[in-house]
Amino acid sequence: MGENPRKGDALEGPTLEGSNVARMNANVSEDIQAEQQHSTEQDLRQHRLDKLARIRARGEEPYKYLFTRSHTIGAARAAFEAAEASATAEEHPGVAAALAGRMTAFRRQGKSSFADLRDESGRIQIFFNQKQLGEDAYEALKDLDLGDFLGIHGNVRRTRTGEITIFADRYEILTKTLRALPEKWHGLKDVETRYRQRYLDLAANPEVMDVFRKRIQVVSVMREFLTGHGYLEVETPMLHPIPGGATARPFVTHHNTYDRDLYLRIAPELYLKRLIVGGFDKVFEINRSFRNEGVDTRHNPEFTMMELYEAYQDYLGLMDETEEMLCTIIERVTGGTIFEHHGRTIDIQRPWRRLPLFEAIRTYAGIDLEATRDREEAAKRARDAGVDVDATMGYGKIVDEVMSAKVQPHLVQPTFLYDYPIEISPLAKRKRDNPQLTERFQPFIGGYELGNAFSELNDPLDQRDRFLQQVKLREAGDDEAQYLDEDYITALEVGMPPAAGLGIGIDRLAMLVTNTTSIREVIFFPQLR
């Protein structure tokens, strides 16, 4: 943790104020009067501890075990509106309700008070009145603090100003809170606190909750889509003896009993294809992969990927399915076929543009990398196009680099690039009429690379050659090159039917539909230092 005490650490000291000793102290309210009026963070907390003790001193449990709600807040509002709609002008309908939530505002008005109550479904105003509650209960409102969880029994009606409000007959404290929520008007802005203490972010910033709801919906619509199309959801290992399925550096961990190193998976690909070998026709998995690489607005060390494999399918058929699936998800989550991202309007109307990779490079980079397979010539052309090329890059890497730098930023409207060079696609099948290319595509939206797909290489001999190519790269110092996985080749020798596979980056898709530009905004607890 280093020398720097993080925000919030200041209050970690031992506190016995909540102990039985303090609970028994019935004179705490006098102590409060006598106490100096401070408001450091410690003192703010002490005030709440004193209130807690007072609540206990009068025999009330400040951490209740159960509260039976009649409605969520949203449901109570809906129920009231329904009653109102069917009532005549003279009637003043009310809906009896028991609601629970966090108190997020309190406006004392002498012998009446207003508060705001929030639960997951929304916000409602509470009206407290001395006459209705009785003097003692009304007085005890002083022991409430912003952030406390309350249960309210009362009637939902409109106030004179027209606001739907629960008129409290009685209330109970469900959870006494010891720390304040961030400020009500500006919310919590400090990004470090927002990410490290996401609970504060969620509690203080309703729009953050909306972002995560959309992310959750992306996953559930995707799951629904795939299940509805006959895919079976499976789970394969996250601890891999040999990292495989992607070009990336893995995290290493260690198993004690076996006394061997294992790797957190960089992709589920090779295991999922083993299932196709075993006889499953359509499988998918939605889960985390881990890559031990840089962190930026598009990369978190652990990220969520969906991978699917379909037997007897090729990449062109899968391109159609991908388009359909992504349209379904985006339309359901954003509510239409047109949405905004990063100040740009994106239209997902089908059919999407489909562009061979090399044609895209000719169009956007103004160079032809297809006509030459020569590494030096390709490097020269890339430099002519203004792309940095270093000595370690092979031909495939140069193509990839030019694509990322010159093509990808233009792919704002949904686009499939397809037919990638064989050098950077060691698990993809060769294009049927051009052995230098593979049957591979990637969907791009909003300039984001959303996924990767191909006709799966199922020729075990070719696969071994491709792995050996990777091993050569590894021996030459490329620590992202793939490992040779003997068992995987054995599986292919047992025989994998023709198949196509797809991987989709869930986090990036979530960024798109939530109009956010940092991956950390769509991951509850992003990795920080």
Minimum distance from residue 172 beta carbon to RNA (Å): 19
- Residue 159 or 220 having the CB closest to RNA: 159
Minimum distance from residue 184 beta carbon to RNA (Å): 5
Give the Cα separation of 479 and 47 in Å (integer): 57
Q: Is 465 helix (H, G, I), strand (E, B) or coil?
A: helix
Q: Please give the C-alpha separations between residue 133 and each of 130, 139, 167, 264, in angstroms, as whole numbers.
A: 5, 9, 10, 58
Minimum distance from residue 50 beta carbon to RNA (Å): 9
Helices (H) and strands (E) in the chain, counts: 17, 20
- Residue 58 or 184 having the CB closest to RNA: 184
Minimum distance from residue 87 beta carbon to RNA (Å): 18
Minimum distance from residue 252 beta carbon to RNA (Å): 16
- Residue 52 or 277 having the CB closest to RNA: 52
- Residue 331 or 449 having the CB closest to RNA: 449
Residue 397 in tokens: 């890497």
Contact between 82 and 94 (Cβ < 8 Å): no
Could you say which DSSP state residue 429 is in? P
Q: Which amino acid is at 525?
A: F
- Residue 43 or 374 having the CB closest to RNA: 43
Minimum distance from residue 138 beta carbon to RNA (Å): 9
Q: Please give the C-alpha separations between residue 416 and each of 169, 329, 440, in angstroms, as whole numbers.
A: 61, 17, 10
Q: Give the per-residue SS3 of 308-325.
A: EEEECCCHHHHHHHHHHH
N residues, the chain: 529
Minimum distance from residue 382 beta carbon to RNA (Å): 12
- Residue 189 or 373 having the CB closest to RNA: 189
- Residue 229 or 299 having the CB closest to RNA: 299
Alpha carbon 285 to chain centroid, angstroms = 16
Minimum distance from residue 322 beta carbon to RNA (Å): 14
- Residue 197 or 313 having the CB closest to RNA: 197
Residue 377 in tokens: 């010539």
Provide Rg for the chain, Cα atoms.
30
Within 190-268, where are the H helices? 191-196, 198-204, 206-228
Minimum distance from residue 349 beta carbon to RNA (Å): 24
Residue 156 phi/psi, 5-degree rounding, is -90, 120
Residue 3 in tokens: 């020398």
Residue 361 in tokens: 């490079």
Q: Please give the C-alpha separations between residue 529 and each of 21, 191, 263, 462, 525, in angstroms, as whole numbers.
A: 40, 13, 21, 42, 12
- Residue 204 or 325 having the CB closest to RNA: 204
Alpha carbon 109 to chain centroid, angstroms = 42
Give the Cα separation of 523 and 299 in Å (integer): 11
In 3D space, the residue among 329, 237, 228 whose CA is nearest the CA of residue 282 turns out to be 228
Residue 454 in tokens: 């191909």
- Residue 169 or 480 having the CB closest to RNA: 480
Minimum distance from residue 447 beta carbon to RNA (Å): 11
